[in-house]
Amino acid sequence: MVDVFRALDDETRRLVLDELSARDGQTLFEICSVLAMRHGLSLTRQAISQHLGVLESAGLVETERRGRSKFHYFNPEPLAEITGRWPTRKRTEQ
Domains of the chain: 4-85 (1.10.10.10)
Kindly state the average pLDDT of the residues 64-83: 93
Q: Who wins on pLDDT, 83 or 11?
A: 11
Any idea which of 2-6, 7-11, 50-54 has the lowest mean pLDDT? 2-6
Evaluate if residue 65 carries a pLDDT over 90.
Answer: yes
Rounded mean pLDDT of 48-63? 97
Which DSSP string corresponds to 27-87? -HHHHHHHHHHHH-----HHHHHHHHHHHHHTTSEEEEEETTEEEEEE--HHHHHHHHHS-
Instruction: Name the pTM for this structure.
Output: 0.85
